Each structure stands twice: as structure tokens, then as C-alpha cells.
Amino acid sequence: MAEFTMDLNDEQKEVRDWLHGFAADVIRPAAAEWDEREETPWPVIQEAAKLGIYSLDFYAQQFFDPTGLGIPMAMEELFWGDAGIALSIVGTGLAAVGVLANGTEEQIGTWIPQMYGDANDVKVAAFCSSEPDAGSDVAAMRTRAVYDEAKDEWVLNGTKTWATNGGIANVHVVVASVDPELGSKGHASFIVPPATEGLSQGQKFKKHGIRASHTAEVVLENVRVPGSCLLGGKEKLDERLARAREKAKSGGERVKNAAMATFEASRPAVGAMAVGTARAAYEEALEYAKTREQFGRPIIDNQGVAFQLADMRTSIDAARLLVWRASWMATTGKKFENAEGSMSKLFASETAKKVTAQAVQILGGNGFTREYPVERMHRDAAIYTIFEGTSEIQRLVIARTLSGMPIR
């Protein structure tokens, strides 16, 4: 078991500096353009693929870092560059985590490579869980998957929303209800292969922030997928459903549903994204405060500004430590007995919102214009308290974990 340390090793530092260089030299110069265009930045993704950043191998190396710090370190540096472009680069990872968390070895080996493509023909993937009437309330999911035993096929019908890469993805991972009476415990995840009939893109959303990342509805109309596309396989699903039915009335063993398993695995990574955005805004504000003069002196000489910057830096460092702790715990097999994963996502998300707002305030009128990047960072930061579990849901998870109440 890897020992916890506050210092990155030489290999981690090398990767961090490499990613920081890519974020500074490639992502940042393109950020404003793709934010205005509100389109997927395919040229940037392709450049990341050519360098090996957008690839299964790279994320696997970071995922299997024995300290657990590979993924959060990578997320922080990329999102320091720009949240919208970075999400376009890493968005496929949520679908990949969905397969890793629930799939068999054969499914992992078959589908994850197809999610990324290669440097000459990049692909993206989408994880589809939220619905118009089922966001935080995953038990209200209406998308249904019905098994056609005669053909060994699953038939999917429903509408998904807020899907990153939805409709433009090569591979879609769709969470659907196979037994509505069991609520969230009756859910399962399915692979929808490329060019499957019946899957189409619905509304593409025009968003407040992260505008370089494609977000859309995914419509499923009698979508038929082979039985082999059920993540984990039917035997495992049948066993889990039988156990859930048996325990439903007794209120005994809690069974995790497919969507929650994916979100639990990814929440510290989202916290790291928030840290990256917060750090970027703080650095912009710090530099501005050191060079901007009012009344004959730099504004950082004013206690009101200096104290804000002190609080911003303190919160960012605290958020990073919570993210690193949760990531280390997950990698070393320690249970989140106090909802440490949700704690990291909650604190980092709220920190990003607050720090970016403070950065805008420190820049004053300039911070309110698109001539300076803190305006975009402030818009981008709003998403962290919403997606993959709102701040309210994180607090609910933490409170119920501390009290011993079941998390539904």
C-alpha cells in the first residue's frame, strides 16, 4: 500500500509540468474563441490526442497511480487552462468510468478504446443518466430497458438530458430502469454502439458557462442493443435485482445503482476541476492586484484586497487537500465512512464559485468584461455546484452518512 505523502514524486512532477505547458500553450490561447463559438474544439482535442493526453493509455496511467493523485493532478492542470475546453478533453472519461465501474473485462477492453479513437480520427463518448424529470432524483428515472429474450436484445426508450457529448459521441453509456418498482436499485447501464438506429440528438443547450463543451439531450426510440451491451452481464444483474427485492421490505443491505457507482468514483475528480478553475482566477487576481495602481500604489497594498487574496489562496489549498485525501482513500481501498468524496466535491465546488466571484470583484470593471478571463472563469465555475450531484445533494449525502441514515 502506497504511503501518503504531501510531496509529488519526480514522475508526477514531470507529468504535471507537461500538462501545465499544454494548458498554457494550447488551451488558454484558444479559450476565448471556443467559448464564443460554443462548439466542440475538435482541433484542440486532436492536438491533445497527438501528444498522448487524450488517450486511454494516459488516463489509465493516471488512474492507476498508486498514490491516487494522478487524476486530480491532471484535472487541476487542464482546468486551470480553461474549463470548457478541458471538459471537452476529459468528458469522455465519465463514460469510461461508467464502464470501468460496472463492466466486465471484455466490455472494458472492447468499448473504452472505441470511446477515444486515435490521433488521426478522434472520437468522444457520452454518459447519459440525467433526465428532464430525474436529475438529483435518480429514482424518478423513466428511461426503460426491456429484455427481448428471443433475440437476446435490450430495447431502450426514453430521453436523457444534460449529456456531455450527447448525440455527437461514438459510444453512449445509458443508464435505464429495468425494474421501476425498485427505484434507483432497479437501474442498469448499457452500451449503445456507434450508429445504432433509434438514438438521436435532441436539443443542444446554450449554456451560461463551459460553452466549449457540447451538452445536449439524447433521445432513445426503440433502440435495440445486443445482450452483451448490458454492463456487467445479465447474470450479475439478475442476482443484484433479486437481492434488492429481498431486502426492499426489510430495509437491510443497501445496493448501489449503476449511476451512483459512477458518480462516487468521479466526484473527487470534479473537485480537482474546480480547484483548477479557482486557482486560475486567483492567479489572475493576484497579478492584477500587484500591478494595478490606484491612489498612487498597487491595490494589493489595500488590506481589503490583500485579505481577500489571502482567503482565496487558503480556500484553494484546503480544497486541494480534501480532493487529494478522497482520491488517496479511493485508490488505497479505504471506505468513505464520512462521505469524504462528497466533502471534497462540495468544498472545492463552493470554493470555485466564491474565488472566481472575488477575482471579478478585485478586477472591478475590467473583471466584468470579456477582455479579461476571470469573467469566463466565473461563468464556468457555476457548473461545479450543479453537475454530478448539486451542493445540496452533497450535503444530504454527508449528513445521512454521518447520521447513519440510508442514502437513496
Cβ contacts of 110-113, under 8 Å, gap ≥ 24? 111/171, 111/191, 112/56, 113/56
What is the number of other CB atoms lying within 10 angstroms of the CB of residue 404? 6
318/310 Cα distance (integer angstroms): 12
Cell 432524483 belongs to 137
C-alpha distances out from residue 19 to 24, 221, 317, Å: 9, 41, 20
Q: Judge residue 90's burial from the number of C-beta atoms within 10 Å of its C-beta, 0-12 exposed, 13-18 middle, 19 or more buried.
A: buried
| 3 state DSSP class of 302 | coil
* Active-site residue identified among 47, 239, 388, 392: 388
Q: Are strands 171-177 and 125-128 parallel, antiparallel or unpaired?
A: parallel
Which cell numbers in the block locate residue 3?
A: 504511503
Tell me 230's DSSP state.
Answer: B
Q: Let me know if 388 is a catalytic residue.
A: yes
Q: Judge residue 407's burial from the number of C-beta atoms within 10 Å of its C-beta, 0-12 exposed, 13-18 middle, 19 or more buried.
A: middle
C-alpha distances out from residue 21 to 56, 73, 302, 362, Å: 20, 14, 33, 27
CA–chain centroid gap for 61, Å, is: 18
The alpha carbon torsion through 332, 337, 342, 343 (nearest 10 deg) reads -100
383/386 Cα distance (integer angstroms): 5
C-alpha distances out from residue 98 to 102, 140, 171, 211, 379, Å: 6, 20, 12, 24, 28
Give the residue numbers annotated as catalytic, written as ranges: 388
